[in-house]
Amino acid sequence: MNLENIKKIGIAGAGTMGSGIAQIFARKGYEVVVTDVKEEFLENSKKLVSIFNKSLIEEGLMGESEVESTIKNIKYNVDKKIFSDCDIIIEAIIEKIDIKQDFWKEVEKVAKPDAIFATNTSGLSITEISKKLENKGRFIGMHFWNPPHIIPLVELIKGDGTKDEIINILLKLLKKIDKEPVVVQKDIPGFIGNRIQFAVFREALNIVEKGIATFEDVDRAMKYGPGFRYPIIGPLETADLGGLDTFYYISSYLFNDLSDVKEPQEILKKLMNNKELGVKSKKGFYDYSYGKDEEAIKRRDKMFFKILKHIYNL
Ligand SMILES: NC(=O)c1ccc[n+]([C@@H]2O[C@H](COP(=O)([O-])OP(=O)(O)OC[C@H]3O[C@@H](n4cnc5c(N)ncnc54)[C@H](O)[C@@H]3O)[C@@H](O)[C@H]2O)c1
């Protein structure tokens, strides 16, 4: 298969991620079919796609005619048989290994022999998910970040059996739809983005727990310091620009002092036990009562769109 042969994309799971991924491909002119276990989830997905379109229109990043064609390009059906003529099938269903394995076993029965199979798992093993497939060479991890219609990164993760030609074609496809793909050569938990994100999260919690700084100051230090750099230069470019000798000396005394705890810290456990889960429960580190939850999401997306426009020229 080559890039020109890819015309139809199948998406399983009409939730947050599946709906966003459907919107991306449909907007770029691909035929998209979306499936889920119940009609009502498909109806909800239509609403989600409309919300994504609306936010892009408000930011001047999408035209009215594009909205029309995007909606027209997506078909919905609860029957997996709609995947029978898809060139790529992307799975964004519940994050449970046994359900994903059984899902793919069923899909293999109806899919074209050369269709590419991709899972959007957040961190389960790609090799394990593909365990019940006959043809493991066509199976790959394709990890979009939330919200998928805004965040450019897509991680492509090789399973033990993934063929290189699958990676090469998806690299081309993702660039064509204005995404930024990276290749994760080994099937490891957290891939690249979440390994780095959670190394930062662990140390951020450590700093708060030890009373070194307030949680507000940790967030401010990150946003106005390292985080200010990261949309422009990654951590390794930062080291090159700072001087690798300096980074070597700092690593020599600092690594030893950083948190290396092997399970979630007490501070996080306490919040979990109090059901203070962040925006979704209107209280986490910060307070999200009285509409502050919606404000936080709106502000985040508005700022993300600014980055898209000013840094990525989209
Ligand atoms: N939400 C995130 O931030 C995020 C980011 C990256 C990756 N992911 C991953 O993407 C996947 C989906 O996450 P989400 O947040 O969109 O979840 P979600 O709960 O919003 O949606 C999942 C959908 O899958 C459907 N589903 C469950 N079993 C199914 C089956 N057998 N066949 C068809 N549909 C089925 C559910 O009914 C639901 O509508 C998960 O693997 C998750 O780990 C999530």
Q: Which residue out of 55, 120, 143, 149 is catalytically annotated? A: 143
User: Does the domain made of 3-184 have the CATH classification 3.40.50.720?
Assistant: yes
Structure tokens at 164: 């290189």
Which listed residue (44, 168, 194, 259) is catalytic?
194
Buried b / exposed e along 260-288 (16+ C-beta atoms within 10 A): eeeeeeeeeeebeeeeeeeeeebbebeeb
| Cα atoms in the 13 Å half-sphere on the side-chain side of 3 | 11
Nearest Cα residue to atom 7 of ligand 1: 122
Residue-wise pLDDT for 200-247, tens only, equals 999 999 999 999 999 999 999 999 999 999 999 999 999 999 999 999
What pLDDT is stored for residue 313 in this prediction? 79
- 23-49 in b/e form (b: 16+ CB < 10 A) is bbbbbbebbbbbbbeeeebbeebbebb
Ligand 1 pocket test, pick from 21, 33, 34, 36 with the greatest ligand atom count within 8 Å of Cβ, gives 36
CA–centroid distance, residue 10 to ligand 1 (Å): 14
Residue 120 CA, ligand 1 centroid: distance in Å: 8
What does pTM read for this prediction?
0.95
**Ligand 1: distance of its center to the CA of 144 in Å?**
12
**Is there an atom of ligand 1 within 6 Å of 37 CB?**
yes
Q: Which CATH superfamily is domain 192-312 in?
A: N-(1-d-carboxylethyl)-l-norvaline Dehydrogenase; domain 2 (1.10.1040.10)
Residue with CA at minimum distance from ligand 1 atom 17: 15
Which residues lie below 8 Å from residue 57, measured CB to CB, with a gap of 6+? Answer: 63, 64, 67
149 is catalytic: no
Give SS3 for 88.
strand
Catalytic residue status for 130 = no
Amino acid at 80: K
Strand order in the sheet with 8-12: 74-76, 31-35, 8-12, 88-91, 116-119, 139-144, 153-158, 180-184
Nearest alpha carbon to residue 122 among 145, 102, 150, 151? 145
Q: Which of 53, 108, 155, 206 is catalytic?
A: 155
Query: In the chain, which ranges are continuous DSSP H helix?
Result: 16-27, 39-58, 64-73, 97-110, 126-129, 164-176, 193-209, 215-224, 226-229, 235-242, 244-254, 266-273, 292-310
In this prediction, the residues of the chain whose per-residue pLDDT falls under 70 are: none
Q: What is the pLDDT of residue 51?
A: 93
Q: Domains of the chain: which residue ranges? A: 3-184, 192-312
- Residue 111 and residue 40 in contact, taking contact as beta carbons nearer than 8 Å: no
Task: Identify whether 122 is a catalytic site residue.
Answer: yes
Residue 194 is a catalytic residue: yes
